[in-house]
Amino acid sequence: MGEGCKDKGKKELIGRGFRTYLRIFTYAKPYWFRITIALFMAQLVAATDGALAWLVKPMMDKIFVEKNLEMLKLIPLAIVGLYVVRGLGRYIQNYFMRYANLRMVMDLRTDLFKKIQGMSLAFHKSRSTGELISRVMSDVSVVRSANVDVIKNLIRQIFTIMALLVVLFKRDWELALMGCLTVPFAGVLIDRLGRKIKEITKASQEKRADLSALMVDSFSGVRIVKAFNMEEQETKRFRKQLHRLYALSMKKVKAAELVSPLIEFLGSLGAAAIIYVGGMRVISGRLTPGDFFSFMAALMMMYGPIRKLTKVNNTIQAAIAASERVFEVLDMEPDIRDAPDAVEVKGFRESILFDHVWFAYPDDPDTWILKDINLEVEKGEILALVGESGAGKTTLVDLVPRFYDPTQGAVYLDGIDLRKIKQASLRALIGMVTQDVILFNDTILNNILYGRPKATFEEVVEAARVAHAHEFILQLPHGYETVVGERGVRLSGGQKQRLAIARAVLKNPPILILDEATSALDTQSERMVQDAMDRLMVGRTVLVIAHRLSTIQKAHRIAVLDKGRIVEMGTHRELIDKGGLYSHLYKLQFSGEEPLEPVLLGG
């Protein structure tokens, strides 16, 4: 990542970039009515600007030159009236534009969120959380503020400029043309600086993403940070990243702030020429003072809109950069999708079959993680998977809920290829309890309800009882209504696991996938978790990655995985008698009552 993506071949890219930005406006469709009203109001406001400049002539010629008393009363009234209309128009315009814009942003963020959630596990593992958050929040923000600018300024200012141009050309078209001479110069200037800003924005949005990624890592890994005394180091890393963003921002300031002064300078040249030529015309009597001052008033009034317009280009360039990042996400094809002819499975009847399954992770396609796996798990069977760390156990079980598709071969459920089954119906049959329990920032009740949102409170309590969680939940300050923090910080490892088990009990799936925690719990907690697991397994088909002796002993069969291959298969007794890898692992891991797994930090 980083600054490596300088755009070359600019012309082509700018066209494409702008089209990308315009795609944002497909989100405007549902709000077209309000937007139309707003645009109409913008025209009204612009017209009042033109009218104000127009009024300068009768004011000068009738009031000051001819001393007309009628006009002396009418013109001030007209001015007040114009400002009332203008203020009302502006208010309505801004109100509806903001409304449409905020709704668009909401819709856009929802789509992004949905898209990201729909992406496969492989995708999520290859992207950092912070980076994804930054696409949804920061990039959309840039686009949003651009929309406000574009609609408010671009549209209104263009209308205003047009209205004022009418006045200019009506008063003296030759002078008006003279003023227009500066336009091409200004155009070139604006274009140059705008491109620069687009490039810088792209780079700084990437930096922003890096920053959020760093924060997510650092905050969610705060235990490790503290354990290794890395607070200062992390802060330094953060500051260093911040500094890169700061440097880019300053670069942007340098380019963006250059626009106004340069345009003003060009404008002053134009104004000087106009005053000189216009002054001569008044002196020679070709123009009335009213014509000239009305012209000058229109010219002065154009200054604001033009200045804003030049800034709009900068904003649009920034928005192009950000919208490219937004649509990059929206245009992604989820790699795991329901086939068009996917079937709904209602239950589980016979078996899960791995047929010559080979698997490599998409981001490392040359390394086979699973090699020629052939395995059939019958309904009602408990199959334990054992193997050294990194052997591919988690990868293997992740294929069952179709978190990944096999690279070669296939997995079948009751004879149907998983790729031909609707994902939702497949996953409804599967319960998972994983190594690291994820609790949502919500009440205990809702965390358990995640297993089956429509369950009654009684059913939740029953599930919690089965999972040996009910007792400790009642001791919490608000019982089932206690909020557990992100990742359940306030609960112990064993308690979290029991909540995860309660969740699975509530879901009551025919197929169960257990990835036992490698970190040892204390004996009492261990016993409760174990007992809860045993109750959960009753009457289900279970694939369990076993780290506990008792689990292994309960299994009907054990598959031993070594570097992605199943090297041994049989009952505990058979495998011990065989004296192969299993008996070796067994001596290593399970010789004591307690598992001897080292407690890995961050396991």
- Measured from the CB atom, the residue of 120 and 446 that comes closer to ligand ATP is 120
Residues 368-407 that bind Mg ion (CB under 5 A): 394
Minimum CB distance to Mg ion smaller for 514 or for 536? 514
Instruction: Kindly state whether residue 68 participates in binding Mg ion, applying the rule CB under 5 A.
Output: no
Distance (Å) of CA 124 to CA 107, 334, 362: 22, 11, 12
Looking at the Cβ atoms of 163 and 566, the one nearer to Mg ion is 566
User: Smaller CB distance to Mg ion: residue 130 or 595?
Assistant: 595
Looking at the Cβ atoms of 369 and 575, the one nearer to ligand ATP is 369
Q: How far is the CB of 516 from ligand ATP (least distance, A)?
A: 10
457 close to 445: Cβ distance less than 8 angstroms: yes
Binds ligand ATP by CB under 6 A, chosen from 389, 408, 441, 456: 389
Judged by CB under 6 A, which of 260, 351, 394, 583 binds ligand ATP? 394
The secondary structure of the chain in percent helix, strand, coil, rounded to multiples of 5, reads 65, 10, 25
Does residue 583 bind Mg ion (CB under 5 A)? no
Least Å from the CB of residue 115 to ligand ATP: 20
Taking the least distance from each CB to ligand ATP, the nearer of 369 and 505 is: 369
Q: Closest by alpha carbon to 292, among 148, 381, 167? A: 167
Q: How far is the CB of 390 from ligand ATP (least distance, A)?
A: 4
Quick check: 504 and 433 in contact, CB under 8 A?
Answer: yes
Q: Which of residues 347-376 bind ligand ATP (CB under 6 A)?
A: 361, 363-364, 369
Rounded Cα distance between 516 and 274, Å, is 83
Nearer to ligand ATP, 394 or 519 (CB): 394
Q: Quote the CA–CA distance of 342 and 418 in Å, as a whole number.
A: 9
Tokens of 147: 């929309």
Q: What track of x and - describes contact with ligand ATP for positions 225 through 254 (by CB under 6 A)? A: ------------------------------
Q: Report in angstroms how near the CB of residue 391 gets to ligand ATP at its nearest.
A: 4
* 3 state SS for 132-152: HHHHHHHHHHHHHHHHHHHHH
Non-local CB neighbours of 551 within 8 Å, separated by 6+ positions: 384, 514, 516, 530, 533, 544
**289-330 and 32-58 helices cross at what angle (nearest 10)?**
160
**Position 129 contacts Mg ion (CB under 5 A):** no
Task: Out of 16, 125, 286, 478, name the contact with ligand ATP by CB under 6 A.
Answer: 125
Task: Find which of ligand ATP, Mg ion, none residue 395 binds, CB within 5 to 8 Å per kind.
Answer: ligand ATP
- 383 touches ligand ATP by CB under 6 A: no
Beta bridge partners of 411: 354
Task: Report the residue from 213, 319, 391, 500 that binds ligand ATP according to the rule CB under 6 A.
Answer: 391
CB 318 within 8 A of CB 142: yes
Quote the CA–CA distance of 163 and 146 in Å, as a whole number.
24
Q: Count the helices and strands in the chain (H runs, E runs).
A: 22, 12
Put residue 361 in one of left, alpha, beta given phi > 0 → left and psi -120 to 50 → alpha.
beta
Sign of CA dihedral 83, 85, 90, 91: positive
Nearer to Mg ion among residue 120 and residue 241 (C-beta): 120
* Contact flag: residue 303 with ligand ATP (CB under 6 A): no
Dig out the tokens for 214 from the structure.
């760093």
- The distance of closest approach from Cβ of residue 434 to Mg ion in the complex, given in angstroms and rounded to an integer, is 9
Dig out the tokens for 330 from the structure.
Answer: 């929206």
Tell the smallest beta-carbon distance from residue 531 to Mg ion (Å): 23
Instruction: Please state the closest distance from residue 247 (CB atom) to Mg ion, in A.
Output: 42
Size of residue set near ligand ATP by CB under 6 A:
13
Torsion, Cα of 409, 415, 417, 420 (10° steps): 170
Q: Does 123 sit near ligand ATP (CB under 6 A)?
A: no
- Amino acid 19 reads R
Interface segment toward ligand ATP; rule CB under 6 A; list 144-152, 171-179, 384-392, 505-513: 384-392
The total of other beta-carbon atoms located within 10 Å of residue 530's CB is 17
* Least gap, CB of 410 to Mg ion (angstroms): 23
Which tokens in the block code for residue 58? 């009768």
Chain positions contacting Mg ion, by CB under 5 A: 394
Chain positions contacting ligand ATP, by CB under 6 A: 125, 361, 363-364, 369, 387, 389-395
